[in-house]
Structure 1
Amino acid sequence: MVAFVLAFVVSPAAIALGVIARGQIRRTGESGNGLATAAVVLGSVFTVGGVAAVAVLASVLFKAMPALYPHPGLASPTPTVAAPPPSRSAGDLARDLSGQLTRGGANVRDATCPEDLPAIPGRTVRCTAVFSDGQPVDLLVTVTSVNGESMHYEYRPEARPIAESLLEPRVSELLADQTGSRPLSVRCAGDLPPVIGQEVDCLVSTRGGTVRVAVTTTGTAGGRVSFSIASK
């Protein structure tokens, strides 16, 4: 009876006890041979089934191990994040432009750029240079080529209107150079457009009276607006 119960709990022990019980029954003639035989049979079946189950489970785990715990050498490589392209900082770019303009003979008072210039061919940034007379000029900077860490660019000056506040003292200086006498005051009707042939009227006061003159744009070379003055 004990062997039969153990067949469902500890099957190998059930086999051993069942064999012993059958031998004892044959010697003594006691009853219980059927239970002993059943214990041996069930213990054998459960033992074989348990061994087979363990073998199947071990095979499944063996196959799953590489996926669960990959070897360091076989692990999926970490995706490489592309480094951002090098760029010229706004401050460095402004200093470069100021130096180039100065070497070209311009008297630059200041240069500024609103943002960094990425090293991507075709990218642009609009900077501003201010000359010693206060006249600002736009500089359209464009990246032309990139070679590793080296970036090449070119800039194109674009003229701005001469603001009324800057135009009046420049007209006064030009008249002083032409006539040898500085006017008492100059009042212009607006900004001078950076387009050749465009003009703006100014009232010039002198000791002899007030005259109206036409200030006309004559050139925009290098982004600098030049002009002439004529009486009206």
Structure 2
Amino acid sequence: MTQQADPRFPAVDPAADAETTVPGTQAFGPAPAQPPGWPPGAPAGYGAPPSSPVGVGPMPAPLNTLSWLSVVMAFVVSPVAIVLGLVARRQIARSGERGRGLATLGTVLGAVFSLVGIASTIVVLVLASQVTATVQAATIPAPTAAAGSPAAPAPAAAPAPAPTTDDSTGRAQLMAGFIQVGAAADTMSTDLDQHRGDLGAMQRDFAAYRDAISQFRTTATTASLSPDARQKVDADLVPAIDRVLADLDTLSTSSSQSRLSAAADRLQGDSQAMVTAATTAVGG
């Protein structure tokens, strides 16, 4: 049986030289020439990633939100500012964010404003407590006779009428004005400590306190009081207020050291007399 040649391979002549029958030799012809530009090079523009521009460093760390929020809250709710500032400082220490100075500022402002608010509240409460205690002491009834002791004789005169509604309203107005005077006195004392040595600033402090005393005088002269209470106010409280006003006029206008010292001494005694008269008027 004759074996047919595989058509996928070229025919080989057996008589040919062995050198021409070795695969991969010149039997298949010369090797084709490599075309120019092969293998292809890298595309144009392709290379290492571009470097950062000269002079441009890393992006700064973000600003901590609670740090600036603590500064804002110091002017709104000061105790909250203290908490936010402390929390912000801990977050910054852990995350490396910016805003440590703002957190410290918010904590300090919150503490200062909180102390100022507490001090003002204490002053007002002390003054209100003193006035309330005076009113209660004036309205406590006299003690009754103990069992087995001789009964006190009944008074011959008719009992005094109960205070009217207008009288109670007037006393409440005097109490409110008296508390405002106490707050103004505390403010004047603080301002004088800050302006010590500055005569012009100290005189302005005295003038501001005089305005508060003048408003209290207006309240004392216009409050609705019973005839007996009105007589006491006009006879004792209003003249005491006028003496304090005269002392403050001298302190706020005079530049003589001797007059200032004398007026300051008078102001201390006249202020005490005004407080006593006001306490009596409020308590009845």
TM-score under structure 2 length normalisation: 0.26
TM-score under structure 1 length normalisation: 0.30
More strand by percentage: 1
Determine which structure has greater relative contact order: mean sequence separation of CA pairs < 8 Å that are 6+ residues apart, divided by chain length.
Answer: 2
More helix by percentage: 2
